[in-house]
Amino acid sequence: MEEPAADNYSLKVLIADDSNSDRLILKTLLIRLGHDVVEASDGLEAIARFEDSTPDIVLLDALMPRMDGMETARQIKVLAGERMVPVIFLTSLSDTDALARCLEAGGDGFLSKPYNRLMIKAQVHAFNRMRLMHQTLTEQRDLIGERNRQLMEEQEVAKRVFDNVAHTGCLDAANIRYHASPLSIFNGDVLFASPRPAGGMLVFIGDFTGHGLPAAIGAMPVAEIFYGMASKGFDGADILKEINQKLKRILPSSMFCCGAMIEADFKLNQLLLWNGGLPDGWLIRASGEREILPSRHLPLGIRSADQFDAEMDVISAIPGDRLLMMTDGVLESRNSGNDLFGETGIARALDAGGRQQHPFDAVMGGIRRFTGLQGGNDDLTLLCLEMVDEAGFATLSDRSIPSALPGPAEWHCIYELREHTLNTFSPLPLLLHICMEVPGLRRKSGEVYTLLTELYSNALEHGVLNLPTEWKRTPEGFERYYQERERRLRQVDGHFIRFGLYHSLQSTGGRLRIICEDSGTGFDFQSHLACAVDGSPTTARNYGGRGLLLLKRLSKSLVFHNQGNCVEIVYDWHSSEISSNLVESQS
């Protein structure tokens, strides 16, 4: 035999035949082949035997008293349910109609009389093979079903963990509209938004190659890096560099992340955008004008750190201007005719929406009309960010969870930047990070960040680089200012900026003293301060009025030392305050 096991197996075979002599012959033949035999002399008895002995194969005479073979076959097939029990008709029927009726009743084959030993053996063998194949299929189907259930369960758990890491940040802000599937993470789509400590916001929209868990796994570190760095005050470009480097290191080469970083600055009325591999962004001006913002970079996770270009495009944008960004799923939405929605679909939807309709609603509506799906395609992410007036923009909680540790209370540190490092490195995230170790200061991150930023930019631009503020008053001067800034930054030999941070506890809270000293020549702070405190427009030689006023307002005291190149600020925090932020103190 071609199958060695074939001769060794033993089946339980039910024989139903009203002819005693025929049954005797068949039974003897089957026993000689090594099978167990259960006998019945009519259809009703066959069903009873089928139920109490669960045979593997049934051999049925077509014509029997009480219940004929066809009805018996029908009932046996019902009783067998999902189990495949071959039913073979024993017949001397010659008319084809009768044979066809046997098959329709659920019969799987025939054995004709006179019985032939070899035919019986071959038939039983063939039907047993079919029975085993069916059994295997059923088992594998059940196994796949079970695996699928497990997978869904795992995805549910993974999603819960992911939602905690990659929360939606400040996506609920009034100036953001977005669509993302609840399970978008398993489509590889991510969408994060975070307020910046000194105002404004950062948004990241991304689309990983691939689907399912592998795509979701890549999204986890991106979320960690984005929220971690954004809350520490890093800018979009720095975060992009970090994300790119991380993805390049951890992802297999076939996997990467198309993405866009948006940095919205409501103070300067500008948008910074980096688009690496996502579809074109659309800037819809308050005036109704549209600008296309195409991808100018490779996706994240492809280039090595030294080849990666994180430079963001600067776009001036006033309140009411809206930026639309999307993942591939938007363009790849299909209608019933299998046509793509594409960029023409977006243009058409925006045209149809006119000036009245919000561009987000216009595009979502366009997709729904196009696909005919009310819920829309769930494999797409669409974001619309609107520029707003700084004053009207309520600062958002960044959902950062207070550390369980008490943190340091009594400490000080000196941090000095020297030489060409002044040109290449910003100490602000690090300094903010040191201050944020104090739980009482963590709630004041916006104010502390603003103090550090203003002190640093004053020390660098007006102290070390000795750039005059007046230049910034005219458009030509503005350009000259930044050209000169670039030039002088390359000539910082012998220069330094030194930060001294001192923290101690007080009965009502704590005190942070910041001393910022630079290697510049200083300035006439006496006359400048007088003007600044008056609130009259400052004409001081070196200091930008706004920065100094802000420092004055946020701190308990502001003192200049030496010839004006050393500034000391005292900043108190109170344990009774539950929350406070920059916007409240300004309004």
* Interior angle at CA 350, CA 346 and CA 353, nearest 5: 140
Q: 433: helix, coil or strand? A: helix
In terms of CB distance, is 32 or 129 closer to other proteins?
Answer: 32
Structure tokens given for 51: 């139920």
In terms of CB distance, is 64 or 558 closer to other proteins?
Answer: 64
Which residues lie across from 574 on neighbouring strands?
Answer: 509
Out of 12, 18, 502, 545, the only residue in the binding site for other proteins (CB under 8 A) is 18
Out of 3, 10, 20, 536, the only residue in the binding site for other proteins (CB under 8 A) is 20
Out of 11, 13, 14, 29, the only residue in the binding site for other proteins (CB under 8 A) is 29
Report how far residue 351's alpha carbon sits from residue 377's, in angstroms, rounded to the nearest whole number: 21
In terms of CB distance, is 68 or 390 closer to other proteins?
Answer: 68
Report how far residue 515's alpha carbon sits from residue 530's, in angstroms, rounded to the nearest whole number: 21
99 binds other proteins (CB under 8 A): no
Q: Output the smallest distance, CB 30 to other proteins, in A.
A: 11
Q: Output the smallest distance, CB 146 to other proteins, in A.
A: 47
Amino acid 304 reads: S
115 binds other proteins (CB under 8 A): yes
What would the DSSP string read from start to end of 168-184?
-TTTTSTTEEEE--TTG
Q: Output the smallest distance, CB 25 to other proteins, in A.
A: 6
From 23-31, 75-83, 390-398, 458-466, span contacting other proteins (CB under 8 A) = 23-31
Strands (E), 520-563: 557-561
Residues of span 273-312 touching other proteins by CB under 8 A: none
Q: Output the smallest distance, CB 134 to other proteins, in A.
A: 30
Out of 5, 52, 82, 114, the only residue in the binding site for other proteins (CB under 8 A) is 114
Report how far residue 327's alpha carbon sits from residue 348's, in angstroms, rounded to the nearest whole number: 18
Q: Output the smallest distance, CB 114 to other proteins, in A.
A: 5
* Rounded alpha-carbon distances, angstroms, from residue 313 to 275, 390, 510: 9, 21, 41
Out of 2, 4, 5, 21, the only residue in the binding site for other proteins (CB under 8 A) is 21
Residue with tokens 């060409």: 420
Q: Output the smallest distance, CB 13 to other proteins, in A.
A: 16
Residues of span 57-76 touching other proteins by CB under 8 A: 61, 63
Ramachandran region of residue 85, left (φ > 0), alpha (ψ -120 to 50) or beta? beta
From 24-32, 217-225, 340-348, 418-426, span contacting other proteins (CB under 8 A) = 24-32
Q: Output the smallest distance, CB 135 to other proteins, in A.
A: 31
Q: Output the smallest distance, CB 16 to other proteins, in A.
A: 13
3-state DSSP of 294-334: CCCECCECCCCHHHCCCCCEEEECCCCCEEEEECHHHHCCE
From 16-24, 178-186, 416-424, 468-476, span contacting other proteins (CB under 8 A) = 16-24
Q: Which residues contact 148 (CB under 8 A, 6 or more apart)?
A: none
* Rounded alpha-carbon distances, angstroms, from residue 558 to 37, 235, 460, 512, 538: 104, 28, 18, 12, 17
121 binds other proteins (CB under 8 A): no
Q: Output the smallest distance, CB 82 to other proteins, in A.
A: 33
Report how far residue 146's alpha carbon sits from residue 551's, in angstroms, rounded to the nearest whole number: 63
From 7-15, 107-115, 182-190, 523-531, span contacting other proteins (CB under 8 A) = 107-115
Q: Which helix (H) or strand (E) holds 57?
A: strand 57-61
In terms of CB distance, is 21 or 526 closer to other proteins?
Answer: 21
Out of 3, 32, 53, 533, the only residue in the binding site for other proteins (CB under 8 A) is 32
Q: Output the smallest distance, CB 87 to other proteins, in A.
A: 18
Out of 117, 433, 546, 556, the only residue in the binding site for other proteins (CB under 8 A) is 117
Out of 9, 12, 25, 524, the only residue in the binding site for other proteins (CB under 8 A) is 25
Q: Cβ distance 281 to 323 under 8 Å?
A: yes
Q: Cβ distance 462 to 543 under 8 Å?
A: yes
Q: Output the smallest distance, CB 111 to other proteins, in A.
A: 11
Bridge-based pairing state of the strands 176-179 and 382-386: antiparallel
Out of 6, 10, 28, 351, the only residue in the binding site for other proteins (CB under 8 A) is 28
**Residues binding other proteins (CB under 8 A):** 18-22, 24-25, 28-29, 32, 61, 63, 91-92, 113-115, 117
